[in-house]
Amino acid sequence: MEFIEKCKMLPKIHINDIETPALVVDYLKLKSNIEKMASFMKSVNCSLRPHFKTHKCPVIANLQIDAGAIGITCAKTGEAEILAASGIKDILVANQVVEPSKIRRIAAIAKYCNIIVAVDDLKNVGDLSAAAQELSADIGVVIEADIGMGRCGVRNVNEALELAERIIKSPGLSFKGLMGYEGHCVFIKDFEERRKKTLEANEKLICYKEFLESKGLIIEIVTGGGTGTFNITSRFPGYTEIQAGSYVFMDSKYNSIEGVEFENAAFIISTVVSRPERELAVIDTGMKCMTGEFGIPQVIGTKGATLKALAEEHGMVQIDEENSNLNIGDRVKILPSHICTTVNLHDRYYVKYNDYIMDTWSISARGKFS
């Protein structure tokens, strides 16, 4: 509780006194989610390399490392640069990096960090090797296999073998193992149905592992898993690490699926700016500060209020007749429906402890989508 001790010394701002819209993180709930995931992973003897794309914040990445995460997963070269600059030593870019300038940026990070990238193409292996040699760096490589999602990744074991043999022969590259993300399973609502589909996907990745091992290759890392599947994939024999990200904050989409029990630790505080009709309150929070691709975010803690539509800078809140005491200037708390894309719209977190804002943390990798 070093953070809490430090905060006791600082001037406090009441949560009702910050300007809105504001992205607020509940410190104790965040810590509880991080600790809960860390202790689960210990119990199943699998490592955690949580995904940075959810919070994009080095302070939170370091809290995850302090709780036992072996490194951080990210999606983009720009995110990897932010992580490396903030002292994270083990980084997995769970994506293909193909542009020459980005490959050079990865090689530059590899000079002072253990960085691993995913590949599914022979030419890409050659390009990564050339950049690594030019900078006298060593880039770790995992082969991505498609395990049912239909996104990137090799489609059969022979492609994987050809790639693995090429990686092993390529100076500047270290072959690490396999990655497969079961993104088509993570949001299946019914737990048993999700488990069944996830196990099928897990089985596919382990077939790749066994095939490559039968050819004499050493597979150090088998990585995959998201917040919806962490408790299934982590138990599947052969997996070494899980990449879940959303568990740190949760959102209404993940709340709606069975068997994912973390706390809602991030929300938007907004203010009512207009009350033009008895049944309508307009808030200062629209689609420029929260996203709607997973459905309209939810008002929480204000009885009878339902967010119905988002405009650029406004949210339309329907008020049921019996609860029409919401006034201009009142605060409304909103739970994002998709936390990862919502976070990417903000510069900072307002970090809440009890009813006070104790700190702000920069969302340094906001907008780092290249």
Ligand X SMILES: Cc1ncc(COP(=O)(O)O)c(C=O)c1O
- The contact set with ligand X (CB under 6 A) reads 51, 54, 94, 181, 183, 186, 226-228, 243-246
The rounded distance, in Å, linking the Cα atoms of 91 and 79 is 10
Q: Which is nearer to ligand X, 227 or 231 (CB)?
A: 227
Half-sphere exposure of 138 toward its Cβ, with a 13 Å CA cutoff? 7
Residue 328 CB neighbours (<10 A): 11
The rounded distance, in Å, linking the Cα atoms of 27 and 5 is 13
Q: Which is nearer to ligand X, 75 or 206 (CB)?
A: 75
Q: Nearest distance from residue 246's CB to ligand X, in Å?
A: 3
Q: Nearest distance from residue 247's CB to ligand X, in Å?
A: 6
Cα four-point dihedral sign 195, 197, 202, 293: negative
The crossing angle, in degrees rounded to 10, of helices 77-85 and 58-66 is 70
Q: Which is nearer to ligand X, 281 or 345 (CB)?
A: 345
Q: 361 to each of 16, 79, 201, 358, how far by Cα in Å?
A: 18, 16, 37, 10
Q: Nearest distance from residue 248's CB to ligand X, in Å?
A: 9
Q: Which is nearer to ligand X, 15 or 201 (CB)?
A: 201
Q: How far is CA 293 from the centre of its chain?
A: 16
Q: Which is nearer to ligand X, 36 or 275 (CB)?
A: 36
Query: At 274, which helix (H) or strand (E)?
Result: strand 266-277
Q: Nearest distance from residue 293's CB to ligand X, in Å?
A: 13
Residues found in the chain: 370
Q: Nearest distance from residue 243's CB to ligand X, in Å?
A: 4
Q: Which is nearer to ligand X, 29 or 104 (CB)?
A: 29
Half-sphere exposure of 4 toward its Cβ, with a 13 Å CA cutoff? 7
Q: Which is nearer to ligand X, 244 or 289 (CB)?
A: 244
The rounded distance, in Å, linking the Cα atoms of 134 and 136 is 6
Q: Nearest distance from residue 283's CB to ligand X, in Å?
A: 26
Let me know: does 198 contact 182? Beta carbons within 8 Å: yes
Q: Which is nearer to ligand X, 248 or 310 (CB)?
A: 248
Give the chain's largest Cα–Cα span: 72
Q: Nearest distance from residue 339's CB to ligand X, in Å?
A: 8
Q: Nearest distance from residue 74's CB to ligand X, in Å?
A: 10
Residue nearest to ligand X (CB): 226
Burial class from Cβ neighbours inside 10 Å (0-12, 13-18, 19+) for residue 98 reads middle
